[in-house]
Amino acid sequence: MILRPQIDDVKVVGYYLGNLIVGIAIVSIIPLIACLVSSEWDPALDFTIGISISFLFGYLMLIACRTKKEINWTHGMIVVSLSWVVASVFGAIPLYLSDHFMSFLDAVFEAMSGYATTGLTLAVDLDHMSYGHNLWRHLIMFIGGQGIVVVALTFLIKAGGGAFKMYVGEARDERIMPNIIHTARFIWLVSIVYLVLGTLGLGIASTLAGMPFGKSLFHGACITMAAFDTGGFAPQSQNVLYYHSGLYESINIILMFFGAINFKLHYALWVGNKREIYKNVETRLFAITIVFTFFLTAVGLAKTGIYSNAVVLFRKGFYHLISGHTGTGHGTLYARQFATQWNELSLIGIVIAMALGGAVCSTTGAIKMLRVALIFKAFKQDVKQFLSAESAVIIQKLHHVKDIIIEDKQTRAAALIMLAYILCYFFGAIIGVLYGYPFLLSLFESTSACANVGLSCGITTPSMPWVLKVVYIFQMWAGRLEFISVFVFMGFLISAVRGKS
């Protein structure tokens, strides 16, 4: 029997969401300061309005929703699923006020794309956007890469029984440290270290290419926040093509790769266990799938003959393959070039790479390598079982930081999430076809949205149908949370209507 939620259940959820909204207001002070420093007075007013609205709603919710009831698993999942929606709505306020978006829906799309580390954009005249608004776009991507709940656990919410429940709901069920708060803080430590290193590296690269040093550092910080957090935003409409630098692209690839590996693997490397990167099943499978998908992409591009030599083909093909496979979405092509210059085979290679994604407990989205490995190992175990005596017990292991014995529960969970992703990829593609777009291009765009990649073949524009915008927002949201907390939230809504008191 399904029980109807009580008022205290709503209050628990509302209280934690109130904390989150206050947190958004606090973080918004950073781009406000940037506006004041750069004398951008109108953008500063946009952020002042956004901060005021967020503080007002946040504190009202904290006052109205105070309760002594402890948070449970259902509450934690619902808080997580709603956190990303609420963050996108309140984060969209200063973006909408910037006049760079045709509607509030477009601004919410942009904010969700940022928080979900997708990188699809509906910004109009991006090249003339203020420093403050551009910083905000990338800052919310940096926050989303670590996870909104990780931010809350680090700075806003005290440790307690609800901490791990929300952490798991955000599609991270691996503890790096014994304490979940320490785990959240380690994730931030890693991210900030790479932010500093990436900013300096990209800043130097663009300075060598002729950009003023101050502007180079700003662009370097923005691109690093997007690259390490495997999101595709950039300060310019040409994306990474704007920099026309092989060195810039090479540093960018390194940041994408580090963003796509497990934070637990980062910890192993930090404590000196360098052999883990070779032994870990995710990095080994990641290498295999990169070779396979790049082979498809390279053969497809060679057949088109659009690139004059092998070096150019490798530079364009490999960069976008890594960008897609890590879930980053940075590009050195105009979006429509995928549709007009790349053939079906090269697009299929990118689509497969985007659909697979990187490592679990990383900043990337999509199916992820560990789930693919679990399903493959389970299949291998079943084949061995059929070929062995009936009394034989076949044990299958994989190495992921430590040796893990595969169990049916793990395999079933991995298969269900993989199935959910595949269905979601095709759901978005079908909606795109209904609006007149070719199937492969629709699948490309849908996979990019649901896998939180951000590469576009030209479908994502401010003029696309509003229904498609809503579908992509849903895909970015559900894909980033890996569906489970979204399903729990939907069940909560159903129980509110049909549950027994």
DSSP 8-state code for residue 6? P
In which band, very low, low, confident or very high, does the pLDDT at 147 lie, cut at 50, 70 and 90?
A: confident
Query: Please, which pLDDT band fits residue 153 given cuts at 50, 70 and 90?
Result: low
Average pLDDT value for residue range 6-10: 79
CB burial readout 472-484, b (16+ within 10 A) else e: bbbbbbbbbbbbb
CB 432 within 8 A of CB 486: no
Asked if residue 159 has pLDDT above 50, the reply is: no
Q: What is the pLDDT of residue 169?
A: 46
The two tokens of residue 210 are 């002729």
Residue found under tokens 């697009």 = 347
Q: How does pLDDT run across 101-125, given as a tens digit for each residue? A: 999 999 999 999 999 999 999 999 9
Answer whether 86's CB lies under 8 Å from 108's CB.
Answer: no
* Residue 469 in this model has a pLDDT that exceeds 90: yes
Q: What is the pLDDT of residues 185-238, one digit of tens each?
A: 788 888 899 999 999 999 999 999 889 999 999 999 999 999 998 988 999 999
What is the rounded CA–CA span in Å between residue 99 and residue 23? 25
Which tens digit of pLDDT belongs to each residue from 238-291? Answer: 999 999 899 999 999 999 999 998 888 888 888 888 888 888 889 999 999 999
**Are residues 460 and 445 in contact, defined by beta-carbon separation less than 8 angstroms?**
yes
- Give the percent of the chain with pLDDT over 90: 59
The arithmetic mean of pLDDT across residues 120-132, rounded, is 94
Domain segments of the chain: what residues? Answer: 7-259
Residue 83 amino acid letter: S
pLDDT of residue 426: 97
CB-CB contact of 177 with 90 (8 Å): no
By the 8 A CB rule, do 367 and 417 touch?
yes
Cα(273)–Cα(262) distance, integer angstroms: 14
**pLDDT mean across residues, the chain:** 87
pLDDT of 481 strictly over 50:
yes
Predicted TM-score of the model (pTM):
0.91
Give, in order, the Cα–Cα distances in Å from 157 to each of 11, 148, 181, 469.
Answer: 16, 12, 9, 33
- Asked if pLDDT for residue 166 goes beyond 70, the answer is no
Return the SS3 of 405: strand
Read off the pLDDT of each residue in 121-143 and give the average, rounded to a whole number.
94
Alpha helix locations (H) across 156-280?
Answer: 161-169, 180-208, 213-228, 246-259, 263-270, 276-279
Question: Can you give the pLDDT at residue 317?
Answer: 94
